[in-house]
Amino acid sequence: MKECEKIIKNIVLFIEGKLSKEEMVRFEKHFDLCASCKFYCEYLKTFFTNIEDSKNENYWEYLTQKIMKRIGDYGKEKILNRIRVKKFAVGFLFTMCVFLFILNEFQHQINIVRFYHLFKDFHILKNFDVIEEISLWEEESGQ
C-alpha cells in the first residue's frame, strides 16, 4: 500500500520519462504486480498523449474548426430560441383573443349576476326581469 502511494505521487514523472533508470524499472515491476496502478498509469497516458498531439499543427486546425462549428451552432440555437419565443407569443395572443371573445359573449350574463348581487341586499329587486332591464340599460348608456 505504501508502495502504491509512492508510485501514484510520481506517476506523472514516470509518464514523462523524468525518473532515473532504476526508478523506471521499479515502476515497471510494480505495474506488473499491481493492476490498479497500471490501469491508472494507462489512464493518465491518454491525457499526455493528447497533449503531445496538441503540439501538432493539425490539432490547432481541428480546434479552430471545432470552435467555429460551436459558434455556428450557437447562432442556430439563438435563432431557434427566437422562433420558440415567437411561437409562444403567438400562442399566448391567440389564447388571449379567444378568452376575450368568450368574455365578451358572456358579458351580459356577467352584468346580470353582478347587479343581482349588488341589489339583493337592498331588497329593491323582486324578480329577475328587473335585473336584466337594469343590466341592458347600463350597457346602452355606457356605449
Measure Cα distances from 17 to 5, 9, 23, 76 in Å: 19, 14, 10, 46
First to last CA, the chain: 93
User: What is the tens place of the pLDDT at every residue in 87-99?
Assistant: 999 999 999 999 9
Q: How many CA atoms lie within 13 A of 127 on its CB side?
A: 2
- Residue 15 is predicted with a pLDDT of 84
- Residue 90 is predicted with a pLDDT of 93
User: What is the tens place of the pLDDT at every residue in 74-83?
Assistant: 878 888 888 8
CB 27 within 8 A of CB 14: yes
User: What is the tens place of the pLDDT at every residue in 31-58?
Assistant: 898 888 888 888 888 776 655 555 555 7
Q: How confident is the model at residue 143 (pLDDT cuts 50, 70, 90)?
A: low
- Give the predicted TM-score (pTM) of the model: 0.36
Measure Cα distances from 71 to 20, 65, 68 in Å: 47, 10, 5
